[in-house]
A = this chain, B = another copy of it.
Amino acid sequence: MSKGKNIAEFDLINDYFRGMTQQRRDVLLGIGDDAALIRVPKGMDLALSVDTLVAGVHFFPEIPPADLGYKVLAVNLSDLAAMGAEPAWVTLALTIPQIDDLWIAGFCSGFTELATRFDLQLVGGDTTAGPLSITVQVQGLIPAGEGLRRSGAGAGDDIYVTGSLGDAALALRCKQRGADDREDMEQLRMRLDRPVPRVEAGIALRGVASSAIDISDGLVADLGHILRSSGVGARVTLDSLPISPAVAAMLEESGDWSMVVAGGDDYELCFTIPPDRKDQLAAIAKQTGVTLTRIGVVEEGVGLRCLRGDGSIWQPEHGGFEHFSNGSGQY
């Protein structure tokens, strides 16, 4: 039962993370001591976010390991994006039932792929034996005082989202219902398993957005966090929500908006912006290559109203909250 820090026959770093060659100048001491040593650059604040993904709860155990390695990092980077932080250092706590070379190599390749893209250096971690679960903590940098918070939305601000909503939830439903032989399945699956964290958009929104959050539990739930933190309400127009042709076709068929507004796993950003800064958005969209869509407006008061095209109020069946038996509580 003692805590062995070394596994004689297993060297995760040298055997599997050779592809990860980032050597950031702000890392004084990386892997291989009791702790990593980092010198945070002058004038920068530090952002920290941690997420755990558990097999059978947050992902199908049979997910390709490269997708899992990618996603566990993407989910965390999405949190940094929502703060306007630039990713910098990451730690990986990997709990695996046994040493399966192919699986681990796949996992590390997906993780490395995304880390390399954002110049993220792996500075520490712990590999343990046990039921499959992964905890990743990302550290990012923000110019002092410029972190985007949930609490800055004001009445009259416009509400925007990046990208499009509902694809990941649709992919999940297709998988769960065995309806995954459709032509666009691979495209949908990428949205579920390989979400692109909106890091560049978050950075570009520093000093522009009045509040921001990443949409991991669905728009209603996550915009709800902004509204509660800011002490305001909001009105959102369903018809204005950005959706893909696949989601549009599903809506056409079922009329079920819940997948779009409460589906989860979108990893888009939702942000608010004072009207007098709106003219900066076109340049941000162009620079980052990310679509920015106005979906509603912040109002005085409490609560979120979702309006149909005819002006009637649409009521979500559930708000995107997950019961404990199937979810997480990140804080």
Contacts and interface: CB of A to CB of B under 8 A. Distances in A.
Given A40-B40, A83-B34, A130-B54, A124 B49 contact: yes
Given A5-B329, A7-B324, A328-B5, A34 B79 contact: yes
28 contacts: A2-B216, A2-B327, A3-B328, A4-B217, A4-B320, A4-B328, A7-B322, A8-B322, A12-B329, A28-B147, A33-B149, A33-B229, A34-B79, A34-B213, A37-B83, A38-B47, A46-B46, A48-B123, A49-B124, A52-B95, A57-B130, A93-B93, A99-B324, A126-B135, A126-B329, A129-B324, A130-B131, A135-B135
Interface of A: 1-13, 28-29, 31-40, 45-60, 75, 79-80, 82-83, 85, 89, 91, 93, 95, 98-99, 123-131, 133, 135, 137, 139-140, 142, 144, 147, 149-151, 168-169, 172, 212-214, 216-218, 221, 229, 263-265, 320-331
A123 B139 CA distance: 13
Per assembly, the copies of the chain total 2
A4 B322 contact: yes
Given A5-B328, A172-B1, A48 B60 contact: no
Contacts of A144: 39
B48 A4 contact: no
